[in-house]
Structure 1
């Protein structure tokens, strides 16, 4: 969910008036994701530097709960294509003082990842549902949540590919009903913490190969073509990944190991083409080592019979 597009235009009490009743949130994925992002934005937009209000702004913000987060574990990379829903699990420890009842029905917590600064992130992704937590002591709990990504719904721009930071948040509604005229946001507890880890959000990659002729005479030339492409999150299609080093590799029949023959670069449309001499039966493939924005990928080997 890109904060500037979905939440930034709404702030303070007006933003919170759109919240669903907390008791229904566990069964409403869209509600939790939207509400958590909205309250995050409402808290962070007060000064642009702190998650909570000054005394002058207190009437428009939740109070700061004594909740912290640690031991965040998240995948090293999240590979996102053009249309399929992608989900990754995040675990963390939640620590709180005696004033916070994490077992309350309207206490919610969950992980998130963000791009840009913690105070005013350029983009933010959360889970469809709140995390589930297991109490481990009177002041701690072990929590497991997810980050859910829907590239076909415009949640990502191509420029978002790369390093994202991990955070976690918690909201205690304390019986407050945001749909009520009597709703008092100052009685809602809130905490969040950024910079708890990092992950790569990458544009899913594809790599093809075709070696010909098949069969081929020993000592003759084998021409190997292919294409390196990656997901474009802005038009939901795959486009060539240009000017990238790609290895041509060969595996002899009966062997399980590929050997690199040469390295070439993809052209302006992502296409690959090179030649090599046929020596023995085996498999040719292209292999791409990956970048921070695009994961590594290897094509399935194409077998050539040498006569």
Structure 2
């Protein structure tokens, strides 16, 4: 199956799913074309907010005649005959002797991806030789496609006297792919971090839980000038993030 045939009608996951059915659930091999390695997004999770997310595939391999074409897309489920989701289509006509680099995008709205699809996706990859040989791997590798998250922070009062209480508030939200909006992320562990004015790294002061609306609130004792922020780590469905720090002058 040459992936470029799918590009003609690519518009929804359902349309692309219908096209991949003829390939069945088996890798395709013709001639001496080989795929040796597939790297998606530099090996990092693809974090998708409310807009399209562009990323790349690097499909390494070989063919005695040279490589002429590379293509790939993401699919989720147990079978290519009936995938639960398809997205991230991309192809290229420009290849080196050892690899094809493919630019692609995940489009939650266009591909009608529900937020429940966040997690691990399969990667279908294809290389074609200049002599018409082909190699396709239905599950060349896997990659995590995660929902984006946002954090805010506000530390008050500013300035504050040494030894007095600082109240730090904020909110943790994450992308809803169906509504194209960010909404409060409930009951998540979030770190309150501090960096002294003269320092370059942050230290975790305490960990708190987000409220039902995603709201965050805690207190600390003022000691020295510095920057306060909230930080949230990546989990199975959502990418991590850190708030833009708020500086507090301690007098």
Correspondence for 2:36: 70
Partner of residue 228 from structure 1, selected from 154, 172, 175: 172
Q: Deviations over 1:205-240 (max 9, x none)?
A: 100000111111221111100011111001110011
- Cα distance, 1:116 vs. partner? 1.9
TM-score, normalised to structure 1, is: 0.68
Cα pair distance change 1:131/1:166, threshold 3 Å: farther
Cα pair distance change 1:192/1:30, threshold 3 Å: closer
- Cα distance, 1:131 vs. partner? 5.0
Separation in 2 of the partners of 1:189 and 1:40? 19
Separation in 2 of the partners of 1:119 and 1:280? 58
Partner of residue 186 from structure 2, selected from 233, 238, 242: 242
Partner of residue 19 from structure 2, selected from 39, 59, 80: 39
Q: Deviations over 1:106-150 (max 9, x none)?
A: xx540122212253421122434445323x3xxxx5211123122
Unaligned runs of 5+ in 1: 1-21, 53-63, 175-187
Separation in 2 of the partners of 1:165 and 1:284? 39
Correspondence for 1:5: none
Partner of residue 49 from structure 2, selected from 55, 78, 81: 81
Conserved in 2, the CA contact under 8 Å of 1:118 and 1:194?
Answer: no
Separation in 1 of the partners of 2:30 and 2:9? 19
Conserved in 2, the CA contact under 8 Å of 1:248 and 1:260?
Answer: yes
Tell which structure's C-alpha radius of gyration is larger. Answer: 1
Correspondence for 2:78: 117
Correspondence for 1:58: none
Correspondence for 1:177: none
Conserved in 2, the CA contact under 8 Å of 1:154 and 1:234?
Answer: no
- CA-based RMSD: 3.1
Separation in 1 of the partners of 2:229 and 2:112? 34
TM-score, normalised to structure 2, is: 0.82
Correspondence for 1:167: 124
Conserved in 2, the CA contact under 8 Å of 1:111 and 1:131?
Answer: no
Separation in 2 of the partners of 1:298 and 1:206? 7
Unaligned runs of 5+ in 2: none
Separation in 1 of the partners of 2:103 and 2:9? 12
